[in-house]
Amino acid sequence: MADACKVPKLPGSKKRQLPDAPTPDMLKRIRMDTDSLSAETSSTRNGDAEYSKAEKGKARSVTIEDVDEDASEQHSDFAPGGDADYFAEEDEEGRFFGGGLTDEQKTILNIFDNAENGGIPDGSDDLSLTSIRKILLRFERAAKKNQDQRSKYPNDPTKFIDSEADLDMAIKALLPLAQVSTIAYPELLRSGTADALVDLLGHENADIVIDVVEVIHELTDEDTGNEEEEEEESREEVLKELIEGLLAKSILELLVQNLVRLNEKEESDRQGVFENILGFNPDLSTQLVSKTNILTWVLERITVKTHDENRGYAAELLSILLQNNHQNRLALGDKSGVDILLKLLSQYRQRDPADADEVEFMENIFDSLCSALIEPEIKESFLKEEGVDLMVLIMKVTWPIDNMLREKKQSRSLAIKVLDHALSGTAGTSNCETFVEALGLKTLFSAFMGKVQKQKNGATTLANEDTSHTLGIMASLFSNLASESKARIRLLAKFVENNYEKVDRLLEIREQSENRLKAAEREIEQERRDLIADGVIISEDDEESSYLRKLDSGLFVLQTVDYILGWICMEDDGIRNHVTKMLDRKNKSLKDIVSVLTLYRENVGEDETRTQDDISPTQQEILDGLITFLSGC
């Protein structure tokens, strides 16, 4: 009979591992003095000592008493066993299971959960202005008490360990505020809680600092707020004010100071606080690099031999810091960053990344190098550190599958992308010459021709994902290699060999791009007519947007192809005659190429990396020459 009186143990966490539902034969039920427990829970709100005591779940009494069997059977609202959720919970097929708890048991468990949370609501539904202020007040008291006890007993952790636990909980209780940002964030600033959070980044306990980083990361996330109940403009405005408040307290500098201290912690430097703040204002990345040692830390972190999530985070952060930022790119060069990146990438000449996380790491390193190569100084460093030779080697190597088949490395396409950036512009002239000397033409045209890539399962795919970058490399070679030089003659010879097969491939890509462009132009024109019919005036911004859409829909590739065709037609009569014949079969002529190049000439921008003493022809001057020649043919 004693076994029949046993009841399921009350779980200590929110994930309740519930027992089987009680049966009618079980004539015992739980009765707890809920009034006394409620009083105990209420007392936790009146002081930190009582709150800490209640948090540990001490001094709770439970009694069991007999219940009349007939009385329990008269509760017709419940299924056998008194399951309160029997009729409320069902699976996808409509079968009822319930939770196995009576109403009274559920009430008891809710009281326990509420006590363990310190009276803080679990979700955002109950977060009113009053409850938010209570949460902030509890945080303020916990922070002050911990500070006082640490100051009073600096050498006796037993005196302040309880207050540290309370502070830990008070900090984590701020996390739900991100879901009601329009209400909570003004209170965070008004009450000084935002400032107090930043101050805690200097706390002696690293775990407290990690909690603060986690909370700040959550609060500054761009997806913060309740999208259903809060307007987007209001959420963006309060987020802006909060971030500005954090920046005023030098949060970037304090975060960087903690990186060295926390970089081996599991969660510390993986929190995307930097991304959140830089996403809010990208210009802050210059300040972050110039006023802190963040770049040094990132470069040291990505060079560790063992790959982990912190290393991946550092690579991602580096990629963000270098995007559209001239000063940061130059700073990378000053810290020998190009050499560091090339050494990291050299390992992928011999192997592929081990897993998806390392693939992302590798891609971020390649992207960082591409961003940096916009600068002439980085192009020079890239050449000096033999970056061109390394990328050519990465392009060449394939993995043997068996005696007949070979498989490309994952880094191959990324190496082609890097070379496209390294050879571009007049600052890439030396890199172009080195590329030809390193026997890069053979590998380049192998990728360009889209040789069939055989897979293990016997399927085949065309290697055409590199087309845009291979075309970019060819265009740079024609722009930068000196006339009558051996390197230029070798380049031109590639288009003549094998009965002009490279020229035919260019024309094939041209036709594909032109078809894509025509489809996009029809859509744009239809949208334009609809706007005019609705009385909308087409602005210059709309025209610019339409042009950008065309570039993405085939115009950019078409312009690059016709730029290369213009060069080879002007420099070789045999190629020009072949192009003219092939175009005529499609009812086209060289005038179609002239039309594309003319539009290109009208929209081409200035080369910002060009120096004042550079006497080589500009892109506009080259296009003018090509247009003049082809128009006269």
Mean pLDDT of the chain: 79
Going through 261-378 in order, the beta strands assigned E by DSSP cover none
Burial class (CB in 10 A: 0-12, 13-18, 19+), 377: middle
Q: Indicate the SS3 state at residue 466.
A: coil
Q: Which residues lie closer than 8 Å to 494 by C-beta, 6 or more apart?
A: 441, 445, 502
- Which pair of tokens denotes residue 529? 């007519």
Please give the helix or strand (H or E) that residue 330 lies within, else none. helix 326-334
Q: Look at 131-145, 304-318, 399-413 and tell me which has the smallest mean pLDDT.
A: 399-413
At 478-519, the pLDDT tens digits run 999 999 899 999 999 999 999 999 999 999 999 999 999 999
- Which pair of tokens denotes residue 296? 């040094």
Q: What is the pLDDT of residue 407?
A: 55
Please give the helix or strand (H or E) that residue 266 lies within, else none. none
Question: 127 and 271 share a domain?
Answer: yes
Q: What is the pLDDT of residue 116?
A: 46
Mean local confidence (pLDDT), 592-596: 96
Q: What is the pLDDT of residue 541?
A: 86
* 56 has pLDDT over 60: no
Mean local confidence (pLDDT), 126-153: 91
Mean local confidence (pLDDT), 452-480: 68
Task: Count other Cβ atoms within 10 Å, centred on residue 238.
Answer: 21
Q: What is the pLDDT of residue 99?
A: 54
Q: Residue 345 falls within a domain, yes or no? A: no
Q: Residue 133 falls within a domain, yes or no? A: yes
* 246 has pLDDT over 60: yes
- Which pair of tokens denotes residue 317? 């952060």
Closest of 511, 480, 443, 507 to residue 609, by C-alpha: 480
Beta bridge partners of 461: 453
Residues in the chain: 633
- Which residue would you say has higher pLDDT here, 61 or 536? 536
- Which pair of tokens denotes residue 463? 């290697």
* 16 has pLDDT over 50: no
* 244 has pLDDT over 70: yes
Question: 103 and 136 share a domain?
Answer: no
Please give the helix or strand (H or E) that residue 446 lies within, else none. helix 440-448
Give residue 109's pLDDT band: very low, low, confident or very high (50, 70, 90): low
Question: 112 and 124 share a domain?
Answer: no
Between helix 619-631 and helix 590-603 the angle, nearest 10°, is: 160
- Which pair of tokens denotes residue 527? 């949208």
* 471 has pLDDT over 50: yes
Give residue 127's pLDDT band: very low, low, confident or very high (50, 70, 90): confident
- Which residue would you say has higher pLDDT here, 81 or 38? 81
Please give the helix or strand (H or E) that residue 101 lies within, else none. none
Contact at 8 Å (CB) between 594 and 631? yes
Question: 57 and 131 share a domain?
Answer: no
Q: Which residues of 556-565 are buried (b: 16+ CB within 10 A; e: fewer)?
A: bbbbbbbbbb
Q: What is the pLDDT of residue 316?
A: 92
Question: 231 and 154 share a domain?
Answer: yes
Q: Indicate the SS3 state at residue 12.
A: coil
Q: What is the pLDDT of residue 126?
A: 66
Distance CA 40, CA 245 (A): 38
At 524-572, the pLDDT tens digits run 999 888 888 888 888 888 888 999 999 999 999 999 999 999 999 999 9
**Which 8-state DSSP code applies to residue 539?**
P
End of a domain among 101, 116, 131?
Answer: 116
Burial class (CB in 10 A: 0-12, 13-18, 19+), 189: middle
Q: Residue 213 falls within a domain, yes or no? A: yes
Question: 623 and 519 share a domain?
Answer: yes
Distance CA 372, CA 133 (A): 47
Distance CA 554, CA 518 (A): 9
Beta bridge partners of 398: 408
Question: 216 and 85 share a domain?
Answer: no
Distances (CA, A) of 78 to 21, 291, 356: 12, 67, 51
At 324-362, the pLDDT tens digits run 899 999 999 999 999 999 999 999 988 888 889 999 999
Q: What is the pLDDT of residue 15?
A: 38
Q: Residue 29 falls within a domain, yes or no? A: yes
Q: What is the pLDDT of residue 304?
A: 87
End of a domain among 217, 249, 281?
Answer: 281
Q: Residue 454 falls within a domain, yes or no? A: no
* 30 has pLDDT over 70: no
* H helix and E strand count, the chain: 30, 6
Distance CA 143, CA 173 (A): 13
- For the chain, helix, strand, coil in percent to 5 are 65, 5, 30
Max avg pLDDT among 81-90, 394-403, 483-492: 483-492
Please give the helix or strand (H or E) that residue 483 lies within, else none. none
Question: 150 and 270 share a domain?
Answer: yes
End of a domain among 93, 116, 139?
Answer: 116
At 252-278, the pLDDT tens digits run 888 888 876 665 545 444 456 787 888
Give residue 58's pLDDT band: very low, low, confident or very high (50, 70, 90): very low
At 178-190, the pLDDT tens digits run 888 889 999 999 9
Task: Find the domain containing 71 and state its range.
Answer: 3-116
Closest of 447, 450, 446, 470 to residue 460, by C-alpha: 450
Q: What is the pLDDT of residue 278?
A: 83
Question: 145 and 275 share a domain?
Answer: yes
* 28 has pLDDT over 90: no
Alpha-helix residue ranges (DSSP H) falling in 155-293:
157-172, 181-190, 193-199, 206-219, 232-248, 251-262, 273-280, 284-291
SS (H, E, C) 489-527: HHHHHHHHHHHHHHHHHHHHHHHHHHHHHHHHHHHHHHH
Q: Residue 168 falls within a domain, yes or no? A: yes
Question: 56 and 136 share a domain?
Answer: no
Give residue 107's pLDDT band: very low, low, confident or very high (50, 70, 90): low
* pTM (predicted TM-score): 0.73
**CATH classification of the domain holding 275:** 1.25.10.10
Contact at 8 Å (CB) between 385 and 338? yes
Question: 153 and 269 share a domain?
Answer: yes
Provide the residue type at 44 as one letter.
T
Q: Which residues of 279-311 are buried (b: 16+ CB within 10 A; e: fewer)?
A: ebeeebbeebbeebebbebbbebbeeeebeebb
Question: 137 and 223 share a domain?
Answer: yes
* Total count of domains within the chain: 3
User: Rg for the chain (alpha carbons), in Å?
Assistant: 34
Task: Count other Cβ atoms within 10 Å, centred on residue 363.
Answer: 17
Give residue 175's pLDDT band: very low, low, confident or very high (50, 70, 90): very high
Distances (CA, A) of 117 to 52, 110, 129, 226, 523: 11, 11, 18, 22, 56
Q: Residue 510 falls within a domain, yes or no? A: yes
Q: Residue 31 falls within a domain, yes or no? A: yes
Distances (CA, A) of 341 to 156, 338, 368, 369: 47, 5, 8, 7
